[in-house]
Chain A
Amino acid sequence: MKRVEKYLLPLVTFFILVAAWQVTASAGLYPSQLLPSPLDVVKGVAELVGGGQLWPYIGVSLLRYFGGYLAAALVAIPLGLVFGWYSKLWLAVDPLMQVLRPISPIAWFPLISLWFGIGDLPAVVIIFLSAFYPILLTTVAAVRNVDPVYLKVARNFGASESNVLWQIVVPAAFPYITMGMHIALGSAWAFLVAGEMLGVRSGLGYLIIDSRNFLRTDLVLVGILLIGILGLIIDRLIGRAEKWVHKQWGVV
Chain B
Amino acid sequence: MNKKISKIILAMVVLVLALALAGCGGKKTAPGETEGQAKEKPVIKIGYLPVTHHLPLVVADKLNKDKYQNFELELVKFSSWPELTEALNSGQIQGAMHMLELAMLSAERGIPGEILALGHRNGDVFTVAPEIKSIKDLKGKRVAIPSRMSAHYILLNQLLKDNGLTIDDVQWVEMPPPDMPAALARGDIKGYLVGEPFGAKAVLGGYGKMLLRTQDLWPNWVCCGLVMNPETIKAYPGATQEFVDSVAAAGNFIESNRSEAIKIAQDYMKIDEKIWAKSFEWGISYADLKPTQEDLQKLQTNLAALKLLKGTVTTDKMLNDTFVTKAYEKVK
Q: Which residues of A contact B (CB under 8 A)?
A: 2, 5, 8-9, 12-13, 16-17, 19-20, 23-24, 27, 29-34, 109-110, 113-114, 117-118, 197-201, 210, 212-215
Contacts and interface: CB of A to CB of B under 8 A. Distances in A.
A215 B89 contact: yes
Given A34-B90, A199-B173, A215-B85, A117 B188 contact: yes
Interface string B242-275: 0000000000000000000000000000000000
Contact of A110 (B1, B111, B182): B182
Nearest to B83: A212
Contacts of B111: 31, 33-34
A199 B105 contact: no
Nearest to A213: B147
B149 A117 contact: no
B149 A213 contact: yes
Nearest to A109: B179
B76 interface: no
B13 interface: yes
A2 B267 CA distance: 65
Contacts of A16: 9, 12-13, 16
A212 B274 CA distance: 34
Contacts of A30: 90
B195 to A, nearest CB: 15
A23 B20 CA distance: 9
Interface string B21-36: 0011001000000000
Please provide the 3 A-B residue pairs with the shortest distance between their CB atoms, ordered closest to farther. Answer: A199-B173, A20-B16, A117-B188
Contacts of A19: 16
A34 to B, nearest CB: 6
Contact of A29 (B1, B27, B176, B179): B27
A212 B82 contact: yes
Given A5-B5, A215-B89, A215-B106, A118 B12 contact: no
A1 to B, nearest CB: 9
Interface in B69-124: 81-82, 85-86, 89-90, 102, 105-106, 109-111
A118 B175 contact: yes
Interface in B136-189: 144, 147-149, 173-176, 179, 182-183, 186, 188-189
B19 A20 contact: yes
A203 to B, nearest CB: 13
A17 B12 CA distance: 9
Given A12-B9, A16-B12, A33-B111, A118 B24 contact: no
A32 B235 CA distance: 24
A9 B1 CA distance: 13
13 contacts: A8-B5, A19-B16, A24-B23, A24-B24, A29-B27, A30-B90, A113-B179, A197-B176, A199-B144, A201-B174, A213-B149, A215-B102, A215-B109
B85 to A, nearest CB: 7
B182 A113 contact: yes
Query: What does DSSP make chain B's interface, helix, strand, loop or mixed?
Result: helix
B8 interface: yes
B182 A17 contact: no
Nearest to A23: B20
Given A12-B9, A117-B188, A214 B89 contact: no
A117 B186 contact: yes
A124 B176 CA distance: 19
B266 to A, nearest CB: 23
Nearest to B183: A118
B304 to A, nearest CB: 14
A237 B70 CA distance: 62
B109 A12 contact: no
Given A114-B182, A199-B174, A213-B149, A33 B13 contact: no
Contacts of A109: 179
Contact of A199 (B1, B19, B81, B175): B175
B89 A33 contact: yes
B161 to A, nearest CB: 21
A163 B294 CA distance: 81
A23 B109 CA distance: 22
Nearest to B172: A201
Contacts of B183: 113, 117-118, 199
B149 A214 contact: yes
A174 B12 CA distance: 39
A27 B16 CA distance: 15
Contact of B109 (A29, A33, A197): A33
A213 B106 CA distance: 11
Contacts of B89: 31, 33-34, 215
Nearest to B176: A197
Contacts of A32: 110
Contacts of A212: 82
Contacts of B1: 2
Given A29-B24, A199-B173, A214-B149, A13 B12 contact: yes
